[in-house]
Amino acid sequence: MDQLVRRQATDRSVGRVVDRPAERVVETASGPCPVRVAAEVLRRPVRRRGKELEVAIFEATLDQLTSGGFARLTMEGVAGAARTGKAALYRRWASKVELVIDALDSTLPRPSDTPDLGSARDELLHLIESFAAVVHSRSGGAMHALMAELDQEQAELFKDFMAQRVIEPTKRVILDILRRGAERGDVRPGAVTPMVADLAPAMLLYRVKICGGQVGPEFATELVDEVLVPLMRS
């Protein structure tokens, strides 16, 4: 009889619920249930702060912009994807327009001085290849989705950003390449003009906006060799 009582007591202990101060965990004879523990961990809020939280918010913004477009992007959706509170977003960004601009600004590469590669042709190719690669990146996909969707009124909101952040800096770098080439002798002085510098960013925007982002690996070479080099040397 004593053995039967002990066995029944042991059987009742299997699967019992144990209350603890911080959590309620289901135990089996071998310890806490792994599935239940994992579920509890996943439900706990992720407490990100500072730069880590900002990166998570920007990534969620670009992902939602790419998958659903600007019209469907919401502050609530971004907060949920970033696993933070909506108030954390509104403390810094008053609207989704401001949030999208900051997300793009933080992730798009900044045009920088192209190294002296010995020829204007190689330097232009280096610069344009780097921008063609951006088209296929997360920020490039988000930019493409944004540009494909915006109507004229909405486009005004982002026009200044595009000009100041992408187009004008790119033109300045191209002009520097052309000036260096003119000093070197592989660019005619008459080609060192804003009009020639406009061609590369204009063609990139045309391919993305009008041609649906068709910027393959051969695009940079074709643009340089078939358009820019003849202009620089004729």
The residues of the chain scoring below 70 in pLDDT are: 1-49, 113, 150-154, 212-214
As a whole number of Å, the CA-based R_g of the chain is 28
By the 8 A CB rule, do 142 and 65 touch?
yes
Residue (of 153, 48, 155, 158) closest to 108 by Cα position? 158
Residue indicated by tokens 């690996």:
217
The answer for residues whose C-beta is within 8 angstroms of residue 179's C-beta and 6 or more apart is: 192
DSSP character for 191?
A: G
- State residue 32 phi and psi, 5-degree precision: -60, 145
The CATH code of domain 50-106 reads 1.10.10.60
By the 8 A CB rule, do 177 and 120 touch?
yes
By the 8 A CB rule, do 233 and 188 touch?
yes
Q: What is the pLDDT of residue 160?
A: 83
pLDDT tens sequence across 166-213: 889 999 999 999 999 999 999 999 999 999 999 998 888 888 777 766
By the 8 A CB rule, do 85 and 57 touch?
no
Q: What is the pLDDT of residue 175?
A: 95
Domain ranges within the chain, ordered by starting residue: 2-43, 50-106, 109-233
Query: SS3 for 150?
Result: coil
Q: What is the pLDDT of residue 74?
A: 95
By the 8 A CB rule, do 173 and 197 touch?
no
Domain 109-233 has CATH 1.10.357.10: yes
Residue 17 gets the label, from left (phi > 0), alpha (psi -120 to 50) or beta, of beta
CA 72 vs CA 78, 92, 145, 213: distances in Å: 11, 21, 12, 21
Residue indicated by tokens 């690669």:
133
